[in-house]
């Protein structure tokens, strides 16, 4: 009996090693075993919600810290194998951690990662057509009272709003248009502080000190006792809440809403062309 039991254990171990080797080979070859399978895509959606939606949003349309995964091409590779590797290994220097490295989700097996890849493929959309002039968009962005007054792009510009360097490649065209036309509808969440576990949104802060000095700016951080923000002159402030005469936060963005009168459709298309082309190196 002992010999049979030993033989059974050896056979089981050999089978496990063989299956593990097969799975590793599949991953190494970069072939998605579930490509185009609608049922597996549905299973992958559940895995995505548990492990990825915290950063990338429901429907993979992008969240505060994670890019929109429904768009193509993707910044860190667009093949199934490259997406698998991004999910599994993470992206050093960004908020994208290796698989299972954070408290969000419980980590995924190789099979489950392929299911997620299949789900991402199922929700991808063709990029919207942008008809604008990227060079003119650049001039609009950096000109006079343009976007660069508050936003950084490729190391140039202001700090009051989110850095837009990667916005064109990580956000959908629809998201960018909505951010310009109706910026208060969905506030950006910690794009400039992506490594924070819970990034503050770009809420508006108004503060009055005890000597009646008034400040207005965007929220950087807050806890039960203190508040930190950057004011309209790009000065960073930190106050004990108890020392203030008054303070309040608002979800009314400091960024004005650019309707078609303030930003005609042609100008909008030019700006979009710059954000997308400039982020990809197309303006150089």
- Residues 167-191 have pLDDT tens digits of 887 787 888 899 999 999 888 765 4
Q: Residue 113 and residue 43: Cα distance in Å, rounded? A: 11
Q: Is the peptide bond before 73 cis (omega within 30 degrees of 0)?
A: yes
pLDDT band at 59, cuts 50/70/90?
confident
Integer-rounded Cα Rg, in Å, for the chain is: 24
Decide which of 218 and 65 is more confident: 218
Burial status of residue 38 (CB atoms within 10 A of its CB: 0-12, 13-18, 19 or more): exposed
Q: Residue 266 and residue 259: Cα distance in Å, rounded? A: 12
Q: Does pLDDT of 194 surpass 50?
A: no
pLDDT of residue 241: 96
pLDDT of residue 15: 45
pLDDT of residue 73: 76
Decide which of 49 and 16 is more confident: 49
pLDDT band at 28, cuts 50/70/90?
very low
**How many angstroms from the chain centroid is the CA of residue 48?**
15
């Amino acid at each position: 009996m002992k010999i049979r039991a030993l033989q059974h254990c050896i056979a089981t171990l050999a089978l496990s090693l063989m299956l593990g080797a097969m799975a590793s080979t599949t991953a190494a070859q970069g072939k998605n075993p579930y490509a185009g399978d609608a049922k597996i895509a549905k299973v992958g959606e559940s895995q995505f919600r548990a492990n990825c939606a915290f950063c990338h949003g429901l429907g993979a349309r992008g969240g505060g810290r994670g890019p929109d995964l429904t768009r193509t091409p993707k910044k860190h590779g667009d093949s199934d194998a490259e997406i698998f590797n991004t999910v599994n290994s993470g992206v050093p220097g960004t908020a994208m951690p290796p698989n299972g490295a954070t408290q969000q989700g419980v980590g995924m097996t190789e099979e489950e990662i392929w299911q997620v890849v299949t789900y991402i493929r199922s929700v991808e959309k063709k990029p919207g057509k942008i008809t604008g002039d990227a060079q003119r968009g650049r001039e609009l962005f950096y000109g006079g009272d343009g976007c660069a007054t508050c936003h950084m792009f490729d190391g140039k510009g202001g700090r009051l709003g989110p850095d837009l360097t990667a916005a064109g490649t990580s956000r959908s065209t629809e998201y960018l248009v909505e951010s310009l036309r109706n910026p208060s509808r969905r506030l950006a969440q910690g794009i400039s502080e992506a490594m924070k576990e819970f990034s503050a949104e770009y809420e508006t802060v108004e503060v009055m000190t005890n000597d009646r000095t008034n400040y207005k700016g965007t929220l950087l951080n807050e806890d039960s006792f203190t508040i930190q923000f950057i004011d309209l002159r790009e000065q960073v402030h930190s106050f004990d809440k108890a020392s203030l005469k008054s303070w309040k936060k608002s979800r009314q963005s400091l960024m004005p809403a650019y309707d078609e009168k303030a930003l005609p459709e042609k100008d909008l298309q030019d700006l979009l062309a710059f954000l997308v082309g400039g982020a990809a190196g197309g303006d150089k």
